[in-house]
Chains A and B, each alone.
Chain A
Amino acid sequence: MFRRIVKNFGPEWGAAVMGTAALCITMQLSSEVARPFSALLYVGLGFYLLTTVMFIAFLIPWTLRFFMYPDEVRKDLRHPIKGNFFPTMPISFILAGTGTNKLGPMIFGPKFSYHLSVIFFFLGVIGIFTFGYLLVRIHFLNKEMRLNDANFSWFIPPVSHLIIPVLGTCLLDVYWAGTALASVFFVISMVALGVGFFNFLFVGSMVWRRYVCGTIPQGNLAPTIMIGIAPTAIMVVFLIKFIEAIEASHGTLFGINFAAVFPFIKISAAILWGFSFWWLFLVIILVTHYIKIKEHPLGFSWWAYTFPLEAFTVSTGLLAKCVAPYFFRGALLGLNTLAMATWVVVVFATIKWLESGAFFKPQH
């Protein structure tokens, strides 16, 4: 039985860890809004523990599959949809590191948590860059790729790079600020930001072209439209965390005086948030279309609804710290409730999907 599970344990399972991990941050941010919501900090801690259990439970078969069934892994890597889900597990390392940085001090104290976050950071970075290169190589050399293969799951590799600076800047804040390791975090974060940002633009235009000039994907890919919210939302998270990191370094990071550009950073963050907000309505329009034509089947792909929405919620919560606080705090509470409800629905849907036996059906 265990061998069958390992054989069929696709790369997409990291998306479930991602969709659960980000809720610990949305809960933590919501707990800060007002005193009556303080208890959400402990719900966030509960999500952090659940994420840890899921992360370990999924990482074992995910890793074993590389050694026990390398042919299955190769098939998945070449698949125009499934291949892009490989970075979800390294992203989970980065999210586990971020959760440990924010909520870990409640359990282990600051010193242990900040060191553990660094380990997660480097493991995540290695995984993300490795799969990033691997997937680009496969895309470039695969001559069978067609216009109608482009889909929003292609955003996952750029998103994986964009999420590196989120933890990178969290680590630059407070504990590691001013240490030799800080410059390492800074350089890696800036490189990853550059890679993620430009890949997001390139890939985004390709997928956009498919939606305009080709046919729209089948209904089982409908949830992947939601992934479009994530890149700009994550950039907002990075920018606000970057402001905090700059403050921790007293306005100047590595000889560059950033204090003077705070207003520009805040405006940029608000503009990027606006794009994600616009995309949320685009998702509603397109998913409504799929539901109308009765093409929105139950599947594991529903997890694509969770993390991008949660990333958008986190971006809203962080934006509330420096731009129009009353508006964004209200939006944060509303989005956190929506993200929570979505997660509950997706958990039930996943169990129903597993009950149907779909996990063991060939998916290539």
Chain B
Amino acid sequence: MKIRSVTIALTIVLIPFISGVVLFNAKLHGTASERGNFISDTRYENKGIDHKGISIDWSFSPDWRYKPLFFPSKEYLVFVFHYKNDSEYDIELAPSYTFVPPPHRRYSANEEISMYIEDDVEDELGITDETSMSYKISPGATIHYIVTFEKPENLNHFYIDVDIFRDDTLRLYYEKKCGTWVNANNELIDKYRGRG
């Protein structure tokens, strides 16, 4: 191959890596001052829930900021769930999460945003996020899972459904009181099981 051809080929091959480094740096400098705060963590407030051999805790940030490279930043609702296996046997979990703001349209978690903010959230809470959609938890072990929802404008209250169990759903209610988000209530509700 001629030198010119080698140079062209090498340039093409290196483009993704060099642009990756440039974008990584841009991202690092662009978001260093942003992110958000976890205003509550049931692990320390003793407000978690124990059900069917699993203790469920969650950390909550109502204003986690994520800035795309070329667009302004936006706030997201970020939950980090902590599942601890309190039983004597391995358990397999495959939870799913739904966000329900007024007027009751249901939204799923945004896995892409979770992926982008994963490292920052892990650093903030000192945990390692589980990326699988289903996972085994050994007796006594804890698994952490980041869940991100897009935040509508003028949000004052909402609830999220955490589907972990076959027969019931964990529903967490949040509302804004005097400018602060408060976990107003939590309940386990029976699941509707249709014939479809």
Contact = CB atoms under 8 A, between A and B. Distances in A.
Interface of A: 23, 28, 31-33, 35, 38-39, 41-47, 49-50, 101-102, 105-110, 112, 173-174, 177-178, 243-244, 247-250, 252, 255-257, 262, 320-322, 325, 344, 347-348, 350-352, 354-355
A47 B12 CA distance: 10
Interface residues of B, number: 50
A42 B131 contact: no
Residue in A31, A45, A244, A252 whose Cβ sees the most chain B Cβ within 10 Å: A45
A50 B2 contact: no
Contacts of B68: 105-109
Contact of A174 (B5, B23, B111): B111
Nearest to A344: B13
A324 to B, nearest CB: 10
Contacts of B23: 42, 45-46
A250 B99 CA distance: 11
A325 B111 CA distance: 18
B5 A352 contact: yes
Contacts of B109: 174
25 contacts: A23-B16, A44-B20, A45-B19, A45-B20, A45-B23, A46-B15, A46-B20, A49-B15, A50-B16, A107-B71, A109-B68, A109-B71, A109-B74, A110-B113, A174-B107, A178-B105, A250-B96, A250-B98, A257-B195, A320-B132, A322-B132, A322-B133, A351-B8, A352-B5, A352-B9
Interface of B: 1-2, 5-6, 8-9, 12-13, 15-21, 23-24, 27, 68-71, 74, 94, 96, 98, 105-113, 115-116, 118-119, 122, 128, 131-135, 150, 194-196
Contacts of A33: 131
B108 A173 contact: yes
A170 to B, nearest CB: 10
Given A32-B118, A42-B27, 17 more contacts: A33-B131, A42-B20, A46-B17, A47-B16, A50-B15, A101-B112, A105-B112, A105-B116, A107-B68, A109-B74, A174-B109, A247-B96, A247-B108, A250-B96, A256-B196, A322-B133, A352-B1
Given A41-B115, A348-B9, A50 B19 contact: yes
A43 B15 CA distance: 9
Given A42-B21, A42-B27, A321 B12 contact: no
Contacts of A47: 16
Given A38-B119, A352-B5, A347 B12 contact: yes
Contacts of A173: 108, 111
A73 B172 CA distance: 60
A174 B105 CA distance: 12
Nearest to A24: B16
Contacts of B18: 46
List the 8 shortest-distance A-B pairs measured between CB atoms, nearest first.
A46-B16, A46-B20, A248-B108, A257-B196, A42-B20, A46-B19, A43-B20, A42-B24
Contacts of A244: 111, 133
Nearest to A33: B131
Contacts of B131: 32-33, 321
A178 B112 CA distance: 19
Contacts of A50: 12, 15-16, 19
A13 to B, nearest CB: 14
Nearest to B131: A32
B71 A108 contact: yes
Contacts of A101: 112
Contacts of B194: 252, 257
B196 A325 contact: no
Residue in A23, A110, A112 whose Cβ sees the most chain B Cβ within 10 Å: A110
B19 A107 contact: no
Contacts of A248: 108
Contacts of B69: 106-107
A105 B68 CA distance: 6
